[in-house]
């Protein structure tokens, strides 16, 4: 009898333990949601990914090309067939295409660069020369310059510091930089700041060519004549159409004159293959490049300047081109004015099977299956908005113009923006607003890695722990949390996150589908199915991951935002900027002492001299107290909120709605209307692309970059701005607490 009652007592507990818990769902709703997710997985059809990729990558489909428009119409048709309210939103943007491209070496061994990627027999679409954009960097300046060349390694600010010590001045020179180390647009920007008159960027085989693996078509890597196209627009200042910053590029929009658009590069810049770069590099004399500056070419790398001059001539057609964003909505049943937004771009530099088609076909399959479930009875409380962006490659044009166009509505309605881009075989990676970290982690428990049969979280954990150093491994041991890294730039989230303060996620798989096809004519269907994601297994895994995120966010009773994770992450950033200041202070003191003691002069090889660096101003003590105080408040409120979060599941519906509105708009309180120093478009005070790194994120950018650039007063001002920002965030959480304590 006693035994029996024990069983009866334990039974409900066991039943609850078996049922899956989902953040923000009551147990009953979680069980229902999980049931629909199983059906979702079962209906994903790999054949669709293959069919759509064949079509979408069948011809070059850059901005302004016939296939770009055809692809948008093809996708819009499908979304409509699936029951989405679909429209194509059009904008008119400045998109330069090349008219003249000439690069030659003059002098005793003249050479003229081919600037052409040869077609390959086994890969049909590589032969569509008449439809392909030639290799170029979009938003380079027009120019006709002849000058001595100088090799500047990756062309980063630190490379110019070293050049300075070598006594090499690039004023009036054409610099040759290799790809890598930063976003490409940083290279000509820093070159121009140092007075260079032209910039050539080449793909060293060390980066993605024969030094990494067999080259295409034998292997996946970049062949000798392969070129990486790409934009050099100064996106860290503002992304989107250069002529309409902050406003939508509609037909009759007020436009800047081209000369007044600061995001257009100041000097001509051209990307080339290593085969075209080699004769130029060989012509360089002067000092031998430092060890870390050498790539994998079979030459001794010299810095120059070269004895033989380089002639670079570029001219572009600066027409406006039409963009086609596909926007497809599935209205929510209970909260149609709360939007869960999903996006991936559809434009490519050439055929773009990997970038971006691998991502967009997965998004389409996800959208198709969800709409099918809805027809079969799945109720989605919130509205889903599926987007296929145009013009991402030249400068996040389509997504930026659309977010600028719908600012007011998006500020009110947007709950989440979920972005994907090129996808490949390997491990889950994710970046985004840290409030979403626990929510995202639940999803990674439920998606199975197609190659190993364990969850994508387990697989990521294995990678992290195997590749970590010994010290980091101790910290990781047992901690399976998939951390969300911070978002900089690089794909279509900028308008959502950094302009409008919409919580955002960027996710994908990668790490095992590496190759050298990026932004070349070799990013083709053939290349993709051989090397990147054969069988589209990870295309399906991506749909399972993103689809869950969309459906859970659309259906949660209480939105799954965890403000406490945000607090913890920001506290970490604050520690970092304080350490950065302290380290900068001691490094400055040390270096100044070494300069005063003449140590640099004595340590350098007299036959190969390096100049002593200049004495630097000492680093003052900054006052972080307001920031620390704001953090303490935030720790307490978000900690308490975290503890009480589950109480929200018991709230009456109207109170729950009120709470949800606070939760999804809390990210907006991280915006500062005047934006970041020198770049008012970027309003988010926690995340921004680095002014001198491009893709690379800077967290607490206003403070961190001021410290890095030794602008102490600006650093102090930004400490105050961020303190106020966090106080505002804290107020929002306090409002939420009032509702929780009903
Ligand atoms: Zn892309």
Cα–ligand 1 centroid distance for 543 (angstroms): 17
Tokens of 93: 């943007």
Contact at 8 Å (CB) between 49 and 344? Answer: no
Cα–ligand 1 centroid distance for 361 (angstroms): 13
pLDDT band (50, 70, 90) for residue 478: confident
Tokens of 471: 């010290």
pLDDT band (50, 70, 90) for residue 482: very high
Cα–ligand 1 centroid distance for 581 (angstroms): 36
> How high is the pLDDT of residue 680?
98
Question: Does the pLDDT value for residue 8 go beyond 50?
Answer: no
Mean pLDDT of 632-640: 98
Q: Dihedral, CA atoms, 371, 66, 314, 153, nearest 10 degrees?
A: 30
Question: Does the pLDDT value for residue 10 go beyond 80?
Answer: no
Cα–ligand 1 centroid distance for 552 (angstroms): 26
3-state secondary structure of 431: strand
Contact at 8 Å (CB) between 691 and 588? Answer: no
Mean pLDDT of 161-190: 97
**How many CA atoms within 13 Å lie on the side-chain side of 59?**
12
Cα–ligand 1 centroid distance for 398 (angstroms): 13
Mean pLDDT of 549-562: 98
Cα–ligand 1 centroid distance for 494 (angstroms): 14
Cα–ligand 1 centroid distance for 342 (angstroms): 15
Cα–ligand 1 centroid distance for 56 (angstroms): 14
Q: How far apart are CA 52 and CA 48, in angstroms?
A: 6
pLDDT band (50, 70, 90) for residue 20: confident
Cα–ligand 1 centroid distance for 126 (angstroms): 19
Cα–ligand 1 centroid distance for 346 (angstroms): 8
Cα–ligand 1 centroid distance for 60 (angstroms): 14
Task: Identify the DSSP state of 153.
Answer: T
Mean pLDDT of 442-460: 97
The owner of tokens 């500062």 is: 672
Task: Identify the DSSP state of 530.
Answer: I
- Is the dihedral angle over the CA atoms 73, 75, 78, 84 positive or is it negative? negative
**How many CA atoms within 13 Å lie on the side-chain side of 30?**
17
Cα–ligand 1 centroid distance for 457 (angstroms): 24
Cα–ligand 1 centroid distance for 713 (angstroms): 38
Cα–ligand 1 centroid distance for 678 (angstroms): 27
Cα–ligand 1 centroid distance for 81 (angstroms): 26
Cα–ligand 1 centroid distance for 349 (angstroms): 9
Cα–ligand 1 centroid distance for 396 (angstroms): 10
25: number of Cβ within 10 Å: 21
Contact at 8 Å (CB) between 331 and 338? Answer: no
CA 355 centroid distance within chain: 13
Cα–ligand 1 centroid distance for 491 (angstroms): 7
Residues with Cβ within 8 Å of 659's Cβ and at least 6 positions away in sequence, in order, are 558, 648, 651, 736, 739, 740
3-state secondary structure of 117: coil
Cα–ligand 1 centroid distance for 44 (angstroms): 23
Mean pLDDT of 344-358: 98
Strands across the sheet with 111-112, in order? 111-112, 97-105, 310-317, 143-147
Cα–ligand 1 centroid distance for 64 (angstroms): 17
Cα–ligand 1 centroid distance for 582 (angstroms): 38
Cα–ligand 1 centroid distance for 516 (angstroms): 15
For the chain, what percent of residues have pLDDT higher than 90? 94
Cα–ligand 1 centroid distance for 96 (angstroms): 19
Cα–ligand 1 centroid distance for 391 (angstroms): 10
> How high is the pLDDT of residue 317?
98
Maximum separation of any 2 CA atoms in the chain, in Å:
103
At CA 186, angle to CA 152 and CA 577, rounded to 5? 105
Q: Which residues pair with 151 in a beta bridge?
A: 176
Distances (CA, A) of 451 to 420, 442, 488, 543: 21, 20, 30, 16
Start-to-end Cα distance in the chain? 43
Cα–ligand 1 centroid distance for 232 (angstroms): 15
Question: Does the pLDDT value for residue 706 go beyond 90?
Answer: yes
pLDDT in tens, 652-698: 999 999 999 999 999 999 999 999 999 999 999 999 999 998 778 99
Strand 504-511, strand 426-432: pairing: antiparallel
Question: Does the pLDDT value for residue 60 go beyond 70?
Answer: yes
Strand 504-511, strand 269-272: pairing: unpaired
Cα–ligand 1 centroid distance for 358 (angstroms): 10
Cα–ligand 1 centroid distance for 309 (angstroms): 36
Rg (CA), the chain: 27
Strand 174-178, strand 198-202: pairing: parallel
Cα–ligand 1 centroid distance for 392 (angstroms): 7
Cα–ligand 1 centroid distance for 742 (angstroms): 46
Cα–ligand 1 centroid distance for 394 (angstroms): 10
Cα–ligand 1 centroid distance for 434 (angstroms): 23
Q: Classify the phi-psi angles of 678: left when phi > 0, otherwise alpha if psi is within -120 to 50, otherwise beta.
A: left
Cα–ligand 1 centroid distance for 154 (angstroms): 22
Question: Does the pLDDT value for residue 13 go beyond 50?
Answer: no
Cα–ligand 1 centroid distance for 63 (angstroms): 13
Cα–ligand 1 centroid distance for 240 (angstroms): 15
Mean pLDDT of 267-276: 98
Distances (CA, A) of 43 to 20, 329, 533, 576: 21, 21, 20, 46
Average pLDDT of the chain to the nearest whole number = 95
Tell whether omega for the bond before 305 is within 30 degrees of 0, i.e. cis: yes
Tokens of 704: 């961190």
Contact at 8 Å (CB) between 149 and 283? Answer: yes
At CA 246, angle to CA 244 and CA 249, rounded to 5? 40
> How high is the pLDDT of residue 363?
98
3-state secondary structure of 404: helix
pLDDT in tens, 280-329: 999 999 999 999 999 999 999 999 998 899 999 999 999 999 999 999 99
Task: Identify the DSSP state of 140.
Answer: P
Question: Does the pLDDT value for residue 15 go beyond 70?
Answer: no
> How high is the pLDDT of residue 7?
43
Residue 453 burial by Cβ neighbours in a 10 Å radius (0-12, 13-18, 19+): exposed
pLDDT in tens, 97-121: 999 999 999 998 899 999 999 999 9
- Beta-sheet strands, E only, within 143-196: 143-147, 149-151, 174-178
pLDDT band (50, 70, 90) for residue 16: very low
Mean pLDDT of 539-550: 98
Question: Does the pLDDT value for residue 57 go beyond 70?
Answer: yes
Cα–ligand 1 centroid distance for 741 (angstroms): 45
Q: How far apart are CA 630 and CA 567, in angstroms?
A: 10
pLDDT band (50, 70, 90) for residue 18: low
Contact at 8 Å (CB) between 147 and 174? Answer: yes
- Is the dihedral angle over the CA atoms 27, 32, 37, 39 positive or is it negative? positive
Three-state secondary structure readout of 582-620? HHHHHHHHHHHHHHHCCHHHHHCCHHHCCCCCCCCCCCC
- Is the dihedral angle over the CA atoms 513, 515, 519, 522 positive or is it negative? negative
Cα–ligand 1 centroid distance for 360 (angstroms): 10
3-state secondary structure of 654: helix
Cα–ligand 1 centroid distance for 353 (angstroms): 10
The DSSP H or E segment spanning 328 is: strand 320-330
Mean pLDDT of 502-509: 98
Cα–ligand 1 centroid distance for 355 (angstroms): 5
The owner of tokens 């929002």 is: 732
pTM as predicted: 0.96
Cα–ligand 1 centroid distance for 222 (angstroms): 18
Cα–ligand 1 centroid distance for 423 (angstroms): 9
Cα–ligand 1 centroid distance for 339 (angstroms): 24
Cα–ligand 1 centroid distance for 114 (angstroms): 27
Residues with Cβ within 8 Å of 497's Cβ and at least 6 positions away in sequence, in order, are 417, 433, 487, 503, 504, 667, 684, 687
Q: Which residues pair with 687 in a beta bridge?
A: 699
Cα–ligand 1 centroid distance for 57 (angstroms): 13
Task: Identify the DSSP state of 522.
Answer: T
Cα–ligand 1 centroid distance for 183 (angstroms): 14
Short-list 123, 128, 145, 256, CA closest to 195? 145
Cα–ligand 1 centroid distance for 347 (angstroms): 8
Contact at 8 Å (CB) between 526 and 123? Answer: yes
N residues, the chain: 742
Cα–ligand 1 centroid distance for 602 (angstroms): 50
């Amino acid at each position: 009898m006693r035994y029996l009652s024990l069983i009866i007592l334990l039974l409900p507990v066991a039943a609850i333990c078996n049922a899956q818990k989902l953040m923000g769902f009551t147990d009953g709703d979680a069980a229902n949601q999980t049931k629909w997710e199983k059906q979702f997985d079962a209906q994903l059809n790999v054949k669709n990914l293959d069919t759509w990729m064949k079509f979408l990558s069948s011809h070059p489909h850059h901005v302004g090309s016939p296939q770009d428009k055809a692809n948008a119409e093809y996708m819009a048709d499908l979304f409509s067939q699936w029951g989405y309210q679909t429209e194509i939103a059009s904008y008119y943007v400045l998109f330069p295409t090349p008219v003249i491209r000439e690069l030659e070496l003059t002098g005793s061994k003249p050479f003229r660069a081919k600037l052409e990627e040869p077609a390959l027999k086994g890969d049909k679409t590589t032969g569509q020369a008449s439809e392909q954009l030639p290799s170029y960097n979009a938003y380079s300046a027009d120019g006709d310059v002849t000058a001595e060349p100088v090799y500047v390694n990756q062309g980063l600010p630190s490379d110019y510091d070293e050049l300075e010590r070598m006594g090499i001045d690039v004023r009036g020179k054409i610099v040759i930089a290799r790809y890598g180390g930063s976003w490409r647009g940083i290279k000509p920007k820093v070159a121009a700041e140092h007075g260079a008159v032209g910039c050539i960027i080449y793909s060293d085989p060390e980066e993605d060519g024969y030094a990494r693996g067999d080259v295409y078509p034998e292997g996946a890597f970049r062949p000798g004549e392969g070129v990486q196209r790409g934009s050099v627009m100064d996106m860290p200042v503002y992304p989107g159409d250069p002529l309409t910053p902050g406003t939508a590029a509609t037909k009759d929009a007020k436009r800047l004159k081209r000369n007044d658009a600061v995001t257009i590069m100041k000097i001509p810049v051209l990307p080339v293959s290593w085969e075209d770069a080699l004769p130029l590099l060989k012509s360089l004399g002067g000092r031998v490049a430092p060890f870390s500056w050498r790539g994998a070419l079979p030459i001794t790398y010299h810095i120059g300047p070269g004895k033989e001059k380089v002639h670079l001539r570029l001219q572009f057609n600066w027409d406006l081109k039409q963009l086609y964003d596909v926007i497809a909505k599935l209205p929510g049943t209970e909260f149609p004015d709360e939007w869960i937004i999903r996006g991936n771009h559809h434009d490519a530099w050439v055929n773009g099977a990997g970038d971006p088609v691998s991502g967009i076909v997965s998004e389409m399959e996800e959208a198709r299956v969800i709409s099918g479930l809805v027809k079969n009875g799945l109720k989605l409380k919130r509205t889903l908005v599926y987007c296929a962006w145009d013009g991402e490659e030249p400068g996040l044009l389509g997504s930026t113009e659309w977010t600028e166009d719908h600012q007011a509505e998006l500020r009110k309605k947007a709950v989440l923006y979920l972005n994907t881009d090129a996808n490949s075989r390997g491990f889950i990676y994710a970046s985004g607003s840290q409030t979403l970290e626990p929510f995202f982690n639940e999803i990674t428990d439920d998606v199975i890695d197609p190659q190993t049969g364990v969850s994508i979280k387990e697989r990521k954990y294995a990678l992290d722990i195997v590749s970590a150093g010994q010290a980091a491994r101790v910290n990781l041991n047992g901690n399976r949390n998939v951390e969300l890294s911070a978002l900089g730039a690089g794909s279509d989230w900028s308008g959502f996150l950094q302009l409008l303060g919409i919580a955002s996620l960027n996710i994908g798989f990668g790490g095992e589908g590496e190759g050298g096809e990026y932004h070349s004519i070799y990013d083709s269907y053939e290349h993709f199915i051989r090397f990147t994601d054969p069988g589209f297994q990870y295309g399906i895994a991506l749909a399972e991951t993103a689809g869950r995120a969309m459906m859970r966010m659309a259906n949660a009773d209480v939105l799954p935002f965890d403000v406490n994770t945000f607090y913890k992450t920001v506290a970490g950033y604050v520690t970092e900027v304080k350490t950065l200041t302290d380290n900068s202070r001691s490094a400055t003191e040390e270096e100044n002492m070494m300069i005063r003691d003449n140590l640099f002069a004595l340590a350098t090889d007299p036959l190969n001299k390096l100049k002593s660096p200049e004495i630097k101003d000492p680093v003052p003590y900054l006052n972080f107290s307001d920031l620390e105080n704001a953090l303490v408040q935030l720790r307490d409120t978000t900690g308490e909120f975290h503890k009480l979060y589950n109480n929200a599941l018991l709230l009456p519906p109207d109170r729950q709605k009120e709470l949800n509105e606070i939760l999804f708009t809390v990210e907006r309180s991280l915006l500062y209307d005047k934006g970041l120093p020198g770049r008012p478009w970027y309003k988010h005070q926690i995340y921004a692309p680095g002014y001198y790194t491009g893709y690379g994120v800077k967290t607490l950018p206003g403070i961190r970059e001021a410290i890095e650039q030794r602008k102490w007063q600006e650093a102090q001002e930004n400490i105050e701005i961020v303190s106020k920002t966090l106080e505002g965030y804290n107020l929002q959480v306090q409002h939420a607490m009032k509702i929780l304590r009903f």
